[in-house]
Structure 1
């Protein structure tokens, strides 16, 4: 089976990107592929904000992040992008703070890197 690293680059207001990423990740898991990590980069770091409120009639991506984390997929948050946007790095669970170097090393060990923008 193949191993994947996924990266998300768009903000929560672009819900199609996160929906596509979640569907792709779930399909990979159902087919016994490995997801080595999901990396949030650029405006995607807003997904880790504890101050982000989602109306109940909209896609609940926060619950999806917890489900992916529960499936033992590391959810990595770009530290530089998060600091640039003023995110509180002490309260970004279920995400782990990581740098581009860590992401690059993880991506280098995967068969495929798939970006969602």
Structure 2
């Protein structure tokens, strides 16, 4: 899977998370979720969300707890000024690494 939208797009974020949990509940595996383009902002350390808003870091932690490799595109992150040394639950990776994973997968789903 890949996510291309920023954290402010709550609908897309929630669709991805619900889809991932549904896949896992049905016995499927998810090798990786790749944050790309504006999606890299999900790895930002600058979230200060009120308690009544969607708790995006908690959603990602839940997926990481399921042993899903959460990947952050290093190039997209650097272009947007993210600190790639402090990425919380995300692993810094290159687009080529994600392309290799996607080519081995039987399905790849983009959330835009």
Which TM-score bucket, shorter chain as reference? over 0.9
* Number of aligned positions between the proteins: 112
Aligned to 1:8: 3
Q: How does 1:36-47 map to 2 (within 5 A)?
A: 36-47=31-42
1-side partners of 2:5 and 2:15: how far apart? 12
Greater relative CO (CA pairs within 8 A, separation 6+): 1
Cross-structure match for 1:105: 100
TM-score, reference length from structure 2: 0.97
Q: Which has the higher strand share?
A: 1
Which 5+ residue runs of structure 2 have no aligned equivalent? none
Consecutive aligned runs of 4 or more in structure 1 exceeding 6 Å deviation: none
CA displacement, residues 12-69 of structure 1 (integer Å, 9 cap, x when unaligned): 1111111000000000000000101000000110110001222211111110101110
Two-structure CA RMSD over aligned residues (Å): 0.7
TM score, norm. by length of structure 1? 0.93
